[in-house]
Homo-oligomer: A and B are copies of this chain.
Amino acid sequence: MATIESKLETLGLTLPPPVRLPPGLVLPFAWVRVKGDRAYASGHVALAPDGAIAEPRGKVGAELTQEQGYHAARLTALAMLASLQRELGDLDRIRAWLRVFGMVNTAPGFDRYPLVINGFSDLILELYGPERGGHARSAVGLAGLPFGAPVEIEAEVLIDPA
């Protein structure tokens, strides 16, 4: 078993299946786009174990607490890792995380976005370590995210070419 997959198992974490989209939604783009030594991960949201968009939904600072936002960001990491695994074969092909753009569906008055997106970064760093897992990051407040998702994150990673 690849190293990262083995670490996920040790942590008791399971990668979700592909997203089950809400009725009427067609997405023509790729969840992960690979060219040469780069993989670009589309904006991902937290998924339930059956691939549905996870609950709770809504705005962090209103429908969700900061801690629930942190958990959504952690689930978002799992959803992105699942997409990367499907595209790359195994997660050890990721040589380095480069850029993470973390978006929080924000209620007025809430502004602790970095503490929400840490749910994503902490898991990536736990799995990949500081050298491979380190990344540049922004964590900011959006006026809305698709279908009421509390967190959406996109990323760029360096990979071993096929």
| A140 partner, pick from B38, B136, B138, B145, beta carbons under 8 A | B145
Interface size of A as a range? 35 or more
Copies in the complex: 3
**In the complex, are the beta carbons of B42 and A138 less than 8 A apart?**
yes
User: What is the CB-to-nearest-CB distance from A52 to chain B, in angstroms, rounded to a whole number?
Assistant: 16
**In the complex, are the beta carbons of A134 and B33 less than 8 A apart?**
yes
Q: Is there a chain B Cβ closer than 8 Å to A12's Cβ?
A: no
Q: Is there a chain B Cβ closer than 8 Å to A1's Cβ?
A: no
**In the complex, are the beta carbons of B145 and A142 less than 8 A apart?**
no
Q: Produce 1/0 per residue, A108-120, CB < 8 A to B.
A: 1011111100100
Contacts of A17 in B (CB 8 A): none
**In the complex, are the beta carbons of A139 and B134 less than 8 A apart?**
no
Within 8 A of B (CB), among A93-115: 96-101, 103-104, 106, 108, 110-115
**In the complex, are the beta carbons of B136 and A41 less than 8 A apart?**
yes
Cα A158 to Cα B137 in complex, Å, equals 18
**In the complex, are the beta carbons of A38 and B139 less than 8 A apart?**
no
| A40 partner, pick from B30, B106, B136, B139, beta carbons under 8 A | B136
- 20 interchain pairs, CB-CB under 8 A: A25-B114, A25-B115, A26-B118, A28-B121, A28-B122, A28-B125, A29-B100, A29-B121, A33-B97, A35-B158, A40-B136, A41-B136, A42-B138, A43-B139, A103-B140, A106-B143, A110-B144, A111-B146, A113-B144, A139-B146
